[in-house]
Amino acid sequence: MGISDLEAVLFSAAKPISIDVIQDIFKLSKQDSLTLIDHLASDLESHKRGIRVRISAAGVELVSAPESAMYIGHIRKKEDKLSNAAMETLAVIAYKQPITKAEIEEVRGVNSDKVIKQLLSRSLIAELGHKDTVGRPILYGTTDEFLRSTGVTSIDDLHKELDTAESDMSGVSIDSVKDESLIESPNEDGTENI
């Protein structure tokens, strides 16, 4: 048993594998399993291979190397991309979960039925239960697939990143922008580009 065996197992898996499963497959302690994963990750990176090891809340998996993204983009289908509305809805759900459809729509200001169905069908969000209020509306939250596809280890990490970004922007205002060409103005008819 070595790193090539772990590489084969991860390559063959259709989804991330938990460290517990790796321990079971190779009959290793947790520490030895983590060491084996680390050795594989180091080997792939040092040999400038096109794949890397990623560890997330969903488990351990092989992913394409960031340096290869420009080539991989050519084989991705356009329909794989999420719309701006879907990304916005996903961000609201990730930050405020568990959250109801009405609460999502209150934040976004528009009907979100179609977008929620799309996110459910892609397994990026799931129904977590019902809110204990009149009508018992469905509560939505993100899934392990969301964590895997974004590379975020946990929702707590995501909240920390968002809070850091928000505090970094706290002193920024329109008045502090020196280059006025960067500020979008309303169109001649008074409308704004979205």
Total domains, the chain:
2
Here the tokens at position 73 are 């983009």
Q: 42 and 12: one domain? A: yes
Closest CA to 141 of 184, 175, 92: 92
Residue 172 pLDDT greater than 70, yes or no: no
Model pLDDT, residue 173 = 43
pTM for the full predicted model: 0.54
Establish if 46 belongs to a structural domain: yes
Are 94 and 54 contacting, i.e. CB atoms less than 8 angstroms apart? no
Establish if 171 belongs to a structural domain: no
Return the ∠ at Cα 142 (arms to 137 and 146), rounded to 5°: 155
Q: 88 and 124: one domain? A: yes
Residue of higher predicted confidence among 69 and 161: 69
Q: 48 and 101: one domain? A: no
Establish if 128 belongs to a structural domain: yes
Domain of 97 in residue numbering reads as: 84-148
Are 10 and 61 contacting, i.e. CB atoms less than 8 angstroms apart? yes
C-alpha gyration radius of the chain: 21
CATH number at residue 137: 1.10.10.10
Bridge partner list, 17: 60
Bridge partner list, 63: 52
User: End of a domain among 46, 69, 92?
Assistant: 69
